[in-house]
Amino acid sequence: MADDRPVPLDEYPVHQVPLSMKHVATGDRNAYDRCIFHVLDHEGRALLIVGLGVYPNLGVIDAYATLRVGDTLHAVRASDALGEDRMRLVVGPLRIEVEQPLHRLRLACDDDSLSYDLTWTAAFPALWEPHHVQRRGGRLTLEGRRFVQAGGVEGTVRAGGEEFRVNATRWTGTRDRSWGVRPVPGEEGGRLAEEDPTEGFHWLWCPVRFEDRFLMVIVQEDADGYRVLNDATLVRPGHPDRQLGWPQPEITYRSGTRHPERALVHLGDVRKPRELEVEILTSSPLAIGAGYPPADDWQHGTWRGHGWTDRRTYDLTEPHTLAAYGVTDHAARFRLDGRIGHGIFEHGSFGRHDPSGFTGFDSVAP
């Protein structure tokens, strides 16, 4: 049968288990393998987010691109059946080409509503993020391995009659690459969800590029402030990576919301405390256009048939209720030790969070 034949990737000595590279070692329907790229200009005029994912046990490959310009969000999403060539990262008009692994990639989209042709070049080595595990009751719901990286971007982006000339001096690129098990739509609720309700979730993910160094900060906390993930690592070429202690964020929210306007993240040890200042430039909720939960028009891993492509334009001045219950990526300007950097301040806070004073899902900043 054709389904039992080797695939092109089987030619390479990369196997981890005695299976074809067409298959993964787990039968979990939530197995995934995907990436996300952020391309932002230093003045906050534009924020491009690009991603591609593979869901081997669902037979799906999908991709998306969103571009925020002013108060308009342009989005292109595509989905298809997963083919045999895992090194061909193409879905509809969206594609990613790995020109030099861990160093140079090409991002492209050929669509009338949103197009771009960009070369993403790493400025620093890839950095492992902490091993990420989450359970609901006694059930494993997420186990992921990720690395993060920052670099420069060159090329062009076009949408809505505007063209942006992207260069490495006025634009910054970050990316995250992850794989493992992560919930996709279709997970059952029932008694497990009723008996183990989610009281609260508080998340901070910040890759920051400075001229001569890269900083990565991750914080995940439960409703009572218990740390599930905790890391702050400084990367300087030619120097050992340095951990900067227990990051303590102070976030100033817009009144009546949980939308951050600025933040101060305390870093470092007792001998040398440091402060990372965060200035939000523009924002893109991942539940709008990008397919992250709790999006109601498309989510990653869902079967949309062969050759599905969808184009949307969103007015971000209009209320989008679901955006408040999803993670938002904020393009930001950062200051640390007298240096100015740029990157992403990704944040989501839902439900109760005692350290912030939020008492429930309807609680907002005064």
pTM of the model: 0.96
- Cβ-in-10-Å burial (0-12, 13-18, 19+) of 91 comes to buried
Whether the pLDDT of residue 153 is over 90: the answer is yes
30-356 homologous superfamily: AttH-like domain (2.40.370.10)
- Cβ contact 309:77 at 8 Å: yes
The arithmetic mean of pLDDT across residues 202-210, rounded, is 98
pLDDT at residue 254 greater than cutoff 50: yes
Q: Return the pLDDT at 2.
A: 47
> Is the pLDDT confidence value at 84 over 70?
yes
Q: What is the mean pLDDT of residues 353-365?
A: 96
Task: To the nearest 10°, report the CA torsion of 54, 56, 58, 63.
Answer: 10
Structure tokens at 180: 């493992």
* Residues 6 or more apart in contact with residue 81 via CB below 8 angstroms: 59, 60, 61, 306
pLDDT tens by residue, 118-140: 999 999 999 999 999 988 888 88
For the chain, the average pLDDT equals 94
Residue 93, pLDDT above cutoff 70 = yes
Q: Is the pLDDT of residue 170 over 90?
A: yes
Do 165 and 154 form a contact (C-beta atoms < 8 A)?
A: no
